[in-house]
Every structure is written in C-alpha cells, then in structure tokens.
C-alpha cells in the first residue's frame, strides 16, 4: 500500500508545478508574437519607404528598429528556455509560433533584399560620379606606343562623401 501512495504523490506534486509553467510558457509565446508583430510592422514600413526612395525617412526608424530587435531577441531566448514546457502544454501554440516565425523570416528577407538593392544602386551612383570626376582630372596624353596614358597616383583625386543626408 505504501508503494501505491508513493507512486501517486509525485503525480499530484507535479500538477501544481506545471500549471504556473503553462501560464509562463504561454506568456512567453504571446510576448514573442507581440514582438514579432511590432518588428514586422516596422520592417514593412521601412521596406515601403526605401522602395519609394524615401531613405531619409526610413533612417528615422533605425532607433525604434533596434529597440524592437532587442525585444525580439530577448523573447526568443525566453522561449528557448520554456520550449519544452510549451511543447508539452500547448503544441498547437508552438506550431502557430513556427508558422508565424516563417512568415516573419520571409518578410525580413524581402526587407534585406530591398536594402541591398538600395545599397547597390547608391554605390553605383557614387562610383559613376567618381569615374566622371577622375576623367576630368586626368591629363589626356598618349604613350610612345600611341595608347592612352594611365593616370598616375598624383592625378587621382579622392572623393569625399557625406553619409548624413
């Protein structure tokens, strides 16, 4: 009879411990969802602004984006801590989180593509301006073989670019 009671007590002792864990795990999952939604909204806005060529306005979102990113990383680390509990207590919530996170990553990929495109375009413009400036500074001379002379280091003028818009 003692063996039967001993086997029942751990089950009863575990039940009260899992209830707060369930609530905590659900709270962490909700925090992650909220964090992803807030960051996703900001990233979508940034993507729209950059696509529209409003880079200056998009840059104003940087500090808010950093704050939301920190919140997201914090929520992800808390979820990793409670993932086992969440998988036991609410597997459907965990699968919903995975689906939402996949959509989140896809939108981040779109944002990164737009930012990389804007970067490549701006770099191309700067290189083009630099090439035009260098053409004007180089003397137009020919070598003894009748080819254009390559400019020497003293003829190349550095280009200064202000990064502030």
- 93 within domain boundaries: yes
pLDDT at 8 over 60: no
- 56 within domain boundaries: yes
Structure tokens at 148: 């254009």
List, in sequence order, every residue forming a beta bridge with 25; answer none if it has no partner: none
Residue 20: C-alpha distances to residues 9, 12, 14, 56, 74 (Å)? 19, 14, 11, 47, 20
Residue predicted with more confidence, 97 or 19:
97
Q: Could you give the dihedral angle defined by the CA atoms of residues 44, 47, 52 and 53, in that order, rounded to the nearest 10 degrees?
A: 140
Give the pLDDT band of residue 4 (cuts 50, 70, 90).
very low
- 127 within domain boundaries: yes
For 76-105, what is each residue's pLDDT tens digit? 998 888 888 888 888 888 888 899 999 999
Count CA atoms within 13 Å of residue 108 on its CB side. Answer: 12
What's the pLDDT at 3? 42
- 69 within domain boundaries: yes
Give the residue ranges of DSSP H helices in 52-155. Answer: 55-59, 62-89, 91-137
Q: Which domain holds residue 59?
A: 20-137
The answer to whether the CB of 89 falls within 8 A of the CB of 25 is: yes
For 124-158, what is each residue's pLDDT tens digit? 998 888 888 877 777 777 788 888 777 777 767 77
What's the pLDDT at 80? 87
Domain count, the chain: 1
- 150 within domain boundaries: no
- 159 within domain boundaries: no
Rounded Cα gap, residues 99 and 74, in angstroms:
19
- 26 within domain boundaries: yes
Of 57, 21, 24, the C-alpha closest to 42 is: 57
- 44 within domain boundaries: yes
pTM higher than 0.85:
no
- Lowest mean pLDDT across 15-24, 52-61, 145-154: 15-24
């Amino acid at each position: 009879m003692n063996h039967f009671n001993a086997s029942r007590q751990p089950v009863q002792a575990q039940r009260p411990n899992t209830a707060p864990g369930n609530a905590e795990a659900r709270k962490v999952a909700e925090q992650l969802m909220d964090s992803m939604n807030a960051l996703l909204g900001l990233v979508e806005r940034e993507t729209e602004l950059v696509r529209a060529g409003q880079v200056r306005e998009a840059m104003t979102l940087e500090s808010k984006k950093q704050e939301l990113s920190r919140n997201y990383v914090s929520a992800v680390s808390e979820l990793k801590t409670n993932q086992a509990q969440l998988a036991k207590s609410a597997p459907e919530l965990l699968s919903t989180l995975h689906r939402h996170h996949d959509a989140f990553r896809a939108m981040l990929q779109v944002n990164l593509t737009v930012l990389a495109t804007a970067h490549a375009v701006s770099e191309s413009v700067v290189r083009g301006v630099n090439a035009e400036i260098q053409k004007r500074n180089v003397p137009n001379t020919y070598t003894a073989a009748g080819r254009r002379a390559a400019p020497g280091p003293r003829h190349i003028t550095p280009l200064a670019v202000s990064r502030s818009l």
